[in-house]
Chains A and B, each alone.
Chain A
Amino acid sequence: RKEVEQDPGPFNVPEGATVAFNCTYSNSASQSFFWYRQDCRKEPKLLMSVYSSGNEDGRFTAQLNRASQYISLLIRDSKLSDSATYLCVVTDSGGGADGLTFGKGTHLIIQP
């Protein structure tokens, strides 16, 4: 059974701080990995893909550890607008045609 596990939080973090959270996945054959952001009562939106070598997009850094089957997201200099639920997402070995597997999300609250 395909599973993606995340700490639901909430993570309460002061503005300007650095926050990191992880996600573990059970399918060792998963090929693609993503972080999505979901605002309250809105649809999920792709935040960034996660590459094997790790990748950075502005204040956001994503890491993949295939050996331990976990993915991480680091947010530096957090802003109030970063408050959201962050979903960890993986595809299966088939490349994702039959659906992405979503974690239940980590709720992040940035406090002024």
Chain B
Amino acid sequence: SQTIHQWPATLVQPVGSPLSLECTVEGTSNPNLYWYRQAAGRGLQLLFYSVGIGQISSEVPQNLSASRPQDRQFILSSKKLLLSDSGFYLCAWSRHGRLTGAYGYTFGSGTRLTVV
């Protein structure tokens, strides 16, 4: 069966510090991968998605970046965090292909980031 791992679960970082969140998927190949953010009291916002190694699409301009160095690894980074980067970051995967959205997405357990 497929599993998705995300870490760390909780992170407190000072303003201006770098960020690296990692997500890995097991039990499937060539998944579509996604990074979402959920700010307090707000909906889920799509940040990045990837349909293959090295292929990254950005939905929202910001000081965050994403990379996919391996088929089942997705990394979210920042060189300098802002207070507004605080939130609940969620990685998700879906099947690759034309009907990739037909079965919904499966989310990792999330990283709760507080920038202080």
Residue from B42, B105, B108 whose CB has the most chain A CB atoms within 10 Å: B105
Q: Is B49's CB under 8 angstroms from A97's CB?
A: yes
B74 to chain A, nearest CB (A): 14
Task: Give the interface size class of chain B.
Answer: 20 to 34
- Which of A55-63, A76-84, A102-110 interfaces with chain B? A102-110
In the complex, A50 Cα to B47 Cα: how many Å?
Answer: 25
A72 at the interface (CB under 8 A from B): no
Give the number of chain A interface residues (Cβ < 8 Å).
25
Give how many A-B residue pairs fall within 8 Å (CB-CB). 66
A34 at the interface (CB under 8 A from B): yes
Chain B residue contacts of A99, Cβ below 8 A: 34, 46, 49, 59
A100 at the interface (CB under 8 A from B): yes
Q: Is B102's CB under 8 angstroms from A43's CB?
A: no
In the complex, A96 Cα to B92 Cα: how many Å?
Answer: 13
In the complex, A36 Cα to B107 Cα: how many Å?
Answer: 11
Q: Is A98's CB under 8 angstroms from B110's CB?
A: no
Q: Is B112's CB under 8 angstroms from A32's CB?
A: no
In the complex, A96 Cα to B101 Cα: how many Å?
Answer: 4
Chain A residue contacts of B101, Cβ below 8 A: 31-32, 91, 95-97, 100
Chain B residue contacts of A46, Cβ below 8 A: 104-106
Q: Is A97's CB under 8 angstroms from B51's CB?
A: yes
In the complex, A46 Cα to B98 Cα: how many Å?
Answer: 20
Q: Is B43's CB under 8 angstroms from A96's CB?
A: no
Chain A residue contacts of B104, Cβ below 8 A: 32, 34, 36, 46, 49, 89, 100
Chain A residue contacts of B102, Cβ below 8 A: 31-32, 91, 95-96
A44 at the interface (CB under 8 A from B): yes
A42 at the interface (CB under 8 A from B): yes
Cross-chain pairs A/B with CB under 8 angstroms, 8 sampled: A41-B88, A43-B90, A44-B44, A46-B104, A49-B103, A96-B94, A97-B94, A98-B59
- A32-B101, A49-B104, A95-B100 given; 17 more Cβ-contact pairs under 8 Å: A32-B102, A43-B108, A43-B109, A44-B44, A44-B90, A46-B104, A89-B104, A91-B101, A95-B102, A96-B100, A97-B101, A98-B46, A99-B46, A101-B46, A102-B36, A104-B43, A105-B43
